[in-house]
Structure 1
Amino acid sequence: MKPVRLASVEAFAYRVPVKMPIKVAFGTFRDRPFVLVRVTDEDGNVGWGEAWANWPAVGAEHRARLVVDFGERLVGKAFDSPQHLFEQLSRQLEVLVIQTGEVGPIAQAIAGIDIAVWDLVARREGKPLHKLLSSRAVETVPVYVTGINPDEPERFAAARQAEGHRAFKLKTGFGHDIDVRNLRAMRETLGPQAVITCDSNQTHDLQQATAFVRAIEDLKLSWFEEPIRVDAPQSDWEALAAASTTPLAGGENLQGAQFDAAIGAKVLQVIQPDVTKWGGISGNWEVARKTVAAGKRYCPHYFGGGISVLASLQLLAAAGGEGLLEFDCHPNVGREAVVGDLLPVTDGRVPVPQGPGLGAVPDLDALAGYRTWAPKG
Structure 2
Amino acid sequence: MSRVASARLVPYRLRLRAAHGDARGGFALREGVLLHLTDTVGRVGLGDCAPLPPFTPPLDVCCRALAAEAERLPGTDPIAGFYELMAAPDTSLPAPARAAVEMALGWLAAQELGIPLGRLLAPDSQVRPVRLAVNALVDAADVAEALAQAGRFAAEGYTVFKVKVGLGADRDAAVLRELRDRLGPRALVRVDANGAWSPAEFATIAPLLRAADIDLIEQPLAPGVPSAEWARLRAETGLRIAADESLANGARGLELIRATACDAVVLKPSLLGLAASAWLARAAREAGLEVIVSGAFESGAGLAAALEFAAVFGSAGTAHGFATALAVLDDPVAGVPLPAAGGVELPAAGALPALAPAANAREALA
Gaps of 5+ in 1: 98-105
Measure the CA separation in 1 of the matches of 2:64 and 2:89. 16
Contact 2:5 2:40 in 1 (8 A): yes
Measure the CA separation in 2 of the matches of 1:319 and 1:88. 18
Alignment of 1:1-377 (within 5 A): 5-55=3-53, 59-60=58-59, 62-78=61-77, 80-86=80-86, 90-91=90-91, 93=92, 106-132=94-120, 133=122, 134-146=125-137, 148-151=139-142, 152=144, 153-254=146-247, 255-280=249-274, 282-303=275-296, 304-322=298-316, 323-326=318-321, 327-328=323-324, 330-335=326-331, 337-339=333-335, 342-346=337-341, 348-356=342-350, 358-366=351-359, 377=366
Provide closer, same or farther for how the CA distance between residues 339 and 184 of structure 1 changes in structure 2, counting only shifts above 3 A. farther
Provide closer, same or farther for how the CA distance between residues 29 and 271 of structure 1 changes in structure 2, counting only shifts above 3 A. same
Contact 1:305 1:334 in 2 (8 A): no
For 1:101, the equivalent position in structure 2 comes to: none
For 1:100, the equivalent position in structure 2 comes to: none
Deviates more, 1:271-280 or 1:77-86: 77-86
Provide closer, same or farther for how the CA distance between residues 87 and 311 of structure 1 changes in structure 2, counting only shifts above 3 A. same
Contact 1:148 1:157 in 2 (8 A): no
Which residue identity is paired with 1:343?
Answer: L
The alignment's C-alpha RMSD in Å is 2.8
Deviates more, 1:253-262 or 1:264-273: 253-262
Deviates more, 1:296-305 or 1:328-337: 328-337
1:155-192 alpha-carbon deviations (Å, 9 max, x no partner): 11110111121111111112222212111111111111
Contact 1:166 1:194 in 2 (8 A): yes
Provide closer, same or farther for how the CA distance between residues 191 and 338 of structure 1 changes in structure 2, counting only shifts above 3 A. farther
Sequence identity (%): 25
Any idea what SS the aligned residue of 1:13 has?
strand
State the TM-score, normalized to the length of structure 1.
0.84
State the TM-score, normalized to the length of structure 2.
0.86
Which residue identity is paired with 1:140?
Answer: R
Measure the CA separation in 2 of the matches of 1:318 and 1:71. 28
Gaps of 5+ in 2: none
Provide closer, same or farther for how the CA distance between residues 43 and 90 of structure 1 changes in structure 2, counting only shifts above 3 A. farther
